[in-house]
Amino acid sequence: MPREINGRPVIETPRGPVLTPCAPGSVLARLGDKWTILVVSMLSLSPDAPMRFGALRRGIPDISQRMLTLTLRNLERDGLVARHYYTELPPRVEYELTDRGKSMLKPLAAFTDWIRDTWQDIEASRREFDAAEQRRI
């Protein structure tokens, strides 16, 4: 039975372990982009009521209309968000997490909790590292 790390099978070779190439990487790349986690976070604030496009936009400072549209479209494509379009005047569009989208909240929270508890130390390390680099140059 092959070893597995972070959901990825590992092949043992004489020269050491080798990770198998990675389809799940395409999921991480999506979720790791600039806005996706923020949009999911906003949608998780009202688990039972859909949110309007404008409310999402106001809730995420500095996101452009274009990037919010693209991010929502990608989440919809992944089956994590459902989109409801109402042909009124002016039109109303609402978004909500699907069951699959909701299923990711708990695992995601485990990870973001770690980030919340650690990011200040990380930023401190960065400043220290950059300062040391300055001195060497």
Residue 89, both tokens: 């005047």
- 62 touches DNA (CB under 7 A): yes
The least CB distance from residue 86 to its own copies, in Å, is 18
**Is 91 a binder of DNA (CB under 7 A)?**
yes
**Which one, 28 or 65, has the nearer CB to its own copies?**
28
Q: What type of residue sits at position 125?
A: S
From 18-26, 61-69, 105-113, 118-126, give the range in contact with DNA by CB under 7 A: 61-69
- Examine residue 43 and tell whether it contacts DNA (CB under 7 A): no
Which partner, DNA, its own copies, none, binds residue 108 by CB below 5 to 8 Å per kind? its own copies
- Can you spell out the DSSP letters for 10-75? EEEETTEEEEPP-TTHHHHHHHTSSSHHHHHHHHHHSTTS-EEHHHHHHHSTT--HHHHHHHHHHH
Per rule CB under 8 A, is residue 104 in the interface with its own copies?
yes
Please tell me what DSSP assigns to residue 104. T
Least separation, in Å, of the C-beta of 71 and its own copies?
13
Binding its own copies by CB under 8 A: which of 68, 71, 72, 80? Answer: 80
Q: Hey, what long-range contacts does 8-14 have (CB within 8 A, 24 or more apart)?
A: none
